Amino acid sequence: MKSLLSLRHVSRSYVKQTVEVAALRDISMDVSSGEFVSIVGRSGSGKSTLLNLIGGLDTATSGQILCKNADLSAMSRKELAGHRRETVGMVFQSFNLIPSRTAMENVELALIFGRVPKKLRKERTIAALSRLGLAERIHHKPGELSGGEAQRVAIARALANSPNILLADEPSGNLDSKTSEEILALLVELNREGLTVLMVTHDEHMAETVSSRIVRLLDGQIVDDRKIGRAA
């Protein structure tokens, strides 16, 4: 498989009340196209920080992140926005949908930012929502949707511009167990169709059922990185 993402000696530190706190320390890893990688570890281990760096939402203190051979550390703010718009799609635990807009409008907004021509946006938005089983809910606002439906809208929005990588930060964290299983099964299906998935989770047992590889963090460092045999 072709390497899609490379991290080389990446560290991220923050200053809190004059004290420097290391969130990530000397992280090096490669992700190949088509992998489903779960990043696991307890709270405070650096999982979300790592995902935010890869997504271009934060900047490393030191080290290098290459995505499709482009160096994120050398990118301007405009170029990082392009990275988030075109190369990665992001899904969060809290959905991050705009409450005043319908499911269709939330997804279409990503296409507007992606500079998709207006005449194509409606067609692509309806197709994305229909693919995720939301054809009858496109005119509903987030407050009128179940948690699982809201997360599906968020996934449709993340996939609207056909990203190379889906970054999912605790995507089932706010859902009940049955809905959680449905969302995770959807991520597995998308991965089997060729989408590269990086998912942050504190639930290692769950990660083992859906992932092809698990990376475990502890105190900002990789302490285990192993491929696993995901069930068919």
Q: Residue 227: CB partners within 8 Å, gap ≥ 6?
A: 212, 213
Q: Which residues pair with 39 in a beta bridge?
A: 200, 215
CA distance 55 to 190: 19
C-alpha separations of 170 from 18, 110, 119 in Å:
31, 21, 34
pLDDT at residue 176 is higher than 90? no
Average pLDDT (148-160) is 93
C-alpha 126 chain-centroid distance? 22
How many residues belong to the chain?
232
**Mean of the per-residue pLDDT values for the chain?**
92
Q: For 105-212, where are the E strands, in sequence order?
A: 165-169, 196-201
CA distance 85 to 114: 6
CA distance 83 to 89: 9
pLDDT digits (tens, 9 = 90+) for 64-109: 999 999 999 999 999 999 999 889 999 998 889 999 999 999 999 9
pLDDT digits (tens, 9 = 90+) for 157-169: 999 889 999 999 9
Residue 175 is which amino acid? L
For residue 7, what pLDDT band results from cuts at 50, 70 and 90?
very high
pTM for the complete prediction?
A: 0.91
For residue 230, what pLDDT band results from cuts at 50, 70 and 90?
low
Average pLDDT (137-147) is 95
Of the candidates 90, 141, 84, the residue with the CA atom closest to the CA atom of residue 113: 84
Residue 189 is which amino acid? E
pLDDT at residue 2 is higher than 60? yes
pLDDT in the model for residue 17: 82
